[in-house]
Structure 1
Amino acid sequence: MDSSTTTTWITDALAHPLDWASVRAQALDTRDWLVLGGILLFQRLCVHIGMWTYCLAVLPGTALHEAMHWTVAALLGARPTMPNLVPLRTHGGWRLGSVRFQAGYLRSLPIALAPVALAPLSFWWATTFMPGAGSGAMYWLHAWLAASAFGASVPSTQDWSVAAPALLAGAVMGVTLWVVV
């Protein structure tokens, strides 16, 4: 894909996201959607098999989730540490990965919610690479990566707790401006 095609694709996706998504979704057939859903279900059921099985099943998504935090933190000058992908047992369960950073409330919001960007990325990945991959190992690899990225797009409880102060401050400011203006 050359740079003009990439620019056109991004411009179209941002200008008309529903049209773009509708056209892209047609690239996948029913089997592809069932495979993606099946992988997501399998990943969720792996937690009942064992924590290490679950950690391995969702590893690509965990790596992408933490990479999104790291990337946005680095772009915002929050001095992030390298992502840690070693699962750690906590008092509330397990932490599959982490990135530490130094930022105030305002910069913490986009850093904490950065993994949400994995949802459209996973959709793009699935619709770009799965249709032409046949039915062999490459097809399943692309499906696993797309499903893992989609599953990892949901902010964790820790992500929400980091974002909460900025969300609350924004809500208070929004209501205040609405009442005053």
Structure 2
Amino acid sequence: MDSSTAWITETLTHPLAWATARAQALGSRDWLVLAGILVFQRLCVHIGMWSYCLAVLPGTALHEAMHWVVAALLGARPTMPNLVPVRTAMGWRLGSVRFQAGYFRSLPIALAPVALAPLSFWWATTFMPGAGSGVIYWLHAWLAASAFGASVPSTQDWSVAAPALLVGAVVAVTLWVVL
């Protein structure tokens, strides 16, 4: 096995050891910067909706891109992501992707942004330690924090995933009782 695939095998067989080793690449200052950016992004809502939209734009773009990629891979004919904020009866929708899929294909599409959490961790631990303390450092921190913040499925994502989750839970309970 060559070195380019050895790290993948090691990561998949020992994910906690990999994550612990990666986390040590960041110092306490780096963790505080990431947390501070997340807090700042949440506080931007109180400054104004457009400031919030701009603060979380990278995360919104990644969130919608994840929906689009998984929908395309599953043959759900997704539309191009829309990143123009729209006011709705429930508040604001920062982005959207429309697709055509049944309940079970909708589940991975709706929950696709969850994959941004490990991606943001990898980004931060790979690019922040060697970036110094200038603009590039802050750009990497902003991208990593935005991706992490965007990894949480939205209310709409949960409502799309709910029917498949409900059916899966009923099937699991039924199998558990029967077997």
Quickly name the TM-score band, shorter chain normalised.
over 0.9
In the alignment, what sits opposite 2:133? 135
In the alignment, what sits opposite 1:70? 68
Identity of aligned residues (%): 85
Gaps of 5+ in 2: none
1:6 is displaced (CA, Å) by: 4.6
In the alignment, what sits opposite 1:95? 93
TM-score, normalized by length of structure 1? 0.96
- Say yes or no: does 1:175 pair with 2:169: no
CA distance in 2 between partners of 1:71 and 1:63 (Å): 12
1:89-109: CA deviations, max 9, x gaps?
000000000000000001000
Gaps of 5+ in 1: none
* Residue correspondences, number: 178
In the alignment, what sits opposite 1:147? 145
In the alignment, what sits opposite 1:60? 58
CA distance in 2 between partners of 1:139 and 1:89 (Å): 34
In the alignment, what sits opposite 1:41? 39
**Which of structure 1's runs of 4+ aligned residues deviate more than 6 A?**
none
Alignment of 1:16-31 (within 5 A): 16-31=14-29
The one-letter code sitting in structure 2 at the alignment partner of 1:38 is G
CA distance in 2 between partners of 1:88 and 1:143 (Å): 27
CA gap of 1:170–1:62, structure 2 versus 1, over 3 A, is same
1:81-122: CA deviations, max 9, x gaps?
000000000000000000000000010000000000000000
1:13 is displaced (CA, Å) by: 2.0
CA distance in 1 between partners of 2:146 and 2:41 (Å): 8
- Say yes or no: does 1:122 pair with 2:120: yes
Among 78, 81, 84, the residue aligned to 2:82: 84
CA distance in 1 between partners of 2:6 and 2:48 (Å): 45
CA gap of 1:23–1:99, structure 2 versus 1, over 3 A, is same
1:156-180: CA deviations, max 9, x gaps?
0000000000000000000000011
CA distance in 2 between partners of 1:7 and 1:148 (Å): 29
The one-letter code sitting in structure 2 at the alignment partner of 1:149 is A
1:14 is displaced (CA, Å) by: 1.8
CA distance in 2 between partners of 1:152 and 1:145 (Å): 10
1:13-63: CA deviations, max 9, x gaps?
222111110000000000000000000000000000000000000000000
The one-letter code sitting in structure 1 at the alignment partner of 2:6 is T
CA distance in 1 between partners of 2:117 and 2:125 (Å): 12
